[in-house]
């Protein structure tokens, strides 16, 4: 049975989604980068649908809180409307969203919760027959590791499986550069890989530049959605 599948990584300044209408797969990026940004140019050439977002600010605390909320409503509508434009309306939809990272500062986590709640609410209200699964960041990292690397058997008496990358880092402990390396090691048959392969030195950076890191997370979230719906053969095709 065909089904729409969506993977979303929500970020205040660089939300990304990878989705499929049951036949083709697409990557969307909603970010605050300028058109002449190197990575926007490269990702655009790889077929990523890029939408520039903007947010206003006010020096007055109360006004700024309302301005942020108004912007979040507009941005969430923009994101969900674009997602819907790629879906097959006659199909059910399964969506995997990466949850919050509580390592953020208090102000940031409150803002991301606000935007994320609006996006989820909009998805539920505007897409018929949608099922949403929220994955913790740790779970998404572990799932990515499982997709790419074979398990290691540990324990002498009570054996169990553990998934680590070639450097011995367990999936649940992956950082952004490890997710990027996992994507390169997976070697998916798509234009995104063909473009990012030429920038494999990014794995040596402490931080993977946006919107690349968010797109990679959305790719793996979508891969989880595909596996959950028995469409794993599409996971590497874009």
Give the rounded distance of the alpha carbon of 47 from its chain centre: 16
Domain containing residue 92: CATH number: 3.30.420.10
Number of helices (H), then strands (E), belonging to the chain: the values are 7, 8
**Phi, psi for residue 54 in degrees, rounded to 5:** -145, 155
Torsion, CA 32, CA 37, CA 38, CA 39, rounded to 10: 10
Measured CA to CA, the distance from residue 80 to residue 116 in angstroms comes to 11
Number of domains the chain is built from: 1
DSSP 170: B
Residue 189 lies in domain: 4-234
The pLDDT profile of the chain, 238 residues, written as one tens digit per residue, is 589 999 999 999 999 999 999 999 999 999 999 988 999 999 999 999 999 999 999 999 999 999 999 999 999 999 999 999 999 999 999 999 999 876 655 668 889 999 999 999 999 999 999 999 999 999 999 999 999 999 988 877 788 899 999 999 999 999 999 999 999 999 999 999 999 999 999 999 888 999 999 999 999 999 999 999 975 445 444 4
**Alpha helices (H) along the chain:** 38-45, 61-86, 106-126, 137-148, 176-186, 191-196, 212-228
| Three-state DSSP class for residue 44 | helix
**Residues 90, 94, 97: CA angle, nearest 5 degrees:** 140
Measured CA to CA, the distance from residue 42 to residue 192 in angstroms comes to 9
């Amino acid at each position: 049975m065909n089904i729409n599948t969506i993977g979303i990584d929500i970020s205040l300044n660089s939300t990304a989604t990878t989705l499929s209408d049951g036949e083709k797969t697409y990557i969307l990026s909603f970010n605050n980068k300028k058109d002449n940004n190197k990575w926007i140019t490269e990702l655009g050439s790889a077929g990523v649908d890029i939408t520039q977002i903007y947010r206003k600010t006010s020096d007055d605390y109360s006004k700024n809180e309302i301005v942020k909320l108004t912007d979040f409503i507009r941005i969430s509508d923009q994101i969900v409307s674009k997602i819907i434009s790629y879906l097959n309306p006659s199909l059910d939809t399964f969506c995997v969203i990466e949850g919050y990272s509580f390592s953020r500062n208090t102000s940031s986590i409150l803002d991301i919760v606000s935007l994320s709640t609006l996006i989820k609410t909009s998805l539920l209200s505007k897409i018929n027959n949608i099922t949403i699964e929220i994955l913790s960041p740790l779970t998404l990292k572990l799932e990515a590791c499982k997709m790419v690397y074979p398990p290691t058997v540990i324990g002498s008496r009570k054996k169990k499986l553990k998934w680590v990358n070639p450097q011995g880092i367990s999936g649940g402990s992956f950082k952004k550069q490890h997710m990027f390396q996992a994507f390169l090691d997976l070697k998916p048959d798509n234009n995104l890989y063909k473009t990012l392969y030429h920038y494999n030195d990014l794995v040596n950076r402490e931080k993977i530049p946006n919107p690349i890191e968010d797109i990679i997370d959305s790719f793996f979230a979508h891969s989880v959605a595909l596996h959950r719906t028995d469409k794993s053969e599409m996971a590497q095709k874009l």
